[in-house]
Each structure stands twice: as C-alpha cells, then as structure tokens.
Amino acid sequence: MRPMYETKKDLDNELDAVAVAERKWGCEMLKLPIRYHLDFVAKRGDKAVAFCEVKTRNYTMEKIGQMGGYLMSIGKWSAAKQLHDATGLPFILVVRTTDGIWYSSFKEFTPDDVLVRGRTDRNDWQDIEPCVLIDVAKFTKLEA
C-alpha cells in the first residue's frame, strides 16, 4: 500500500480554503470518500452543484505561471472528467498559494499540455506521473 503523505497542516490548509469557498459561493463542501479520487462535492441543500479538488502550493500563482502552469495528475483529471460526464456538473479546482486562494472551473477537459513530472524529494517512484498542464490565466482569485 502506498504511504499517505498528507499532513495535519495540509488538511488544515485545505479546510481553510474550503471555508472560504463555502462562504463565497453559498454552498457546503462535503468531503468525498476516497473512491471518488476528488476531495469534495459542493452542495446546496441536498442538491450537488459541483465536484471540487483542493490543493495547497508553496508558491505564488505568478511563480506557478513562470514554471509553465499548474500541474495536475491525469488520475485526478480523469476522475473529474468522469464525474462531469456522468452528472453534467462542473469540476472546480481550488488552489491555495502563498498569495491567495484561486479557482478554475471546468466543463471541457482538453488540457493545455500533457507532461510527465513530479516530485523526486521523497524517493517514491509513484510521485512521477503523467500530468495535465493548466494555464494560470484560467484561474480567478477567490480571496487574498
């Protein structure tokens, strides 16, 4: 079984970003079971309105742009597309950076590029994988 690298601090940062999204969008974010491969479903009452992945990065959005764009694993991207195809609901990617909380909403799933990238600092061969590249111009600042 693969180790879980998510820390309590990661979860706290994720929940802070989720609280901002809930307040701004007037919805409740319900944590999804791991089998969905995405973090949350956004809902109003009992009606689902979007699926959501929340990430934290230790860079500014400008720096992410200078690195070529935001990278997301094809596994997550495929899960988002599958849920969209099954329901028609949008997929929202929320990214907390050092300069704010950003989001991008997707109903189309043609990536800007596909690269093979990942971390090398943990010596985990599964950290290198195919990723979609998302242009930072597709992100809107939710909160500073």
Give the model confidence (pLDDT) of 17-33 as tens digits.
Answer: 999 999 999 999 999 99
Q: What is the pLDDT of residue 52?
A: 98
Q: What is the pLDDT of residue 100?
A: 95
Bridge partners for 70 per DSSP: 134
- Phi/psi class of residue 140: alpha, beta or left (left: φ > 0; alpha: ψ in -120 to 50)? beta
C-alpha 82/C-alpha 66 separation (Å) is 30
Q: What is the pLDDT of residue 114?
A: 92
Give the model confidence (pLDDT) of 34-93 as tens digits.
Answer: 999 999 999 999 999 999 999 999 999 999 999 999 999 999 999 999 999 999 999 999
Does the pTM surpass 0.75? The reply is: yes
Q: What is the pLDDT of residue 102?
A: 97
Is the Cβ–Cβ distance between 91 and 53 less than 8 Å?
A: yes
pLDDT at 108 over 60: yes
Distances, alpha carbon 107 to alpha carbons 1, 63, 86, 111, in Å: 33, 26, 12, 12
pLDDT at 4 over 80: no
pLDDT at 1 over 90: no
Bridge partners for 50 per DSSP: 42
C-alpha 107/C-alpha 125 separation (Å) is 31
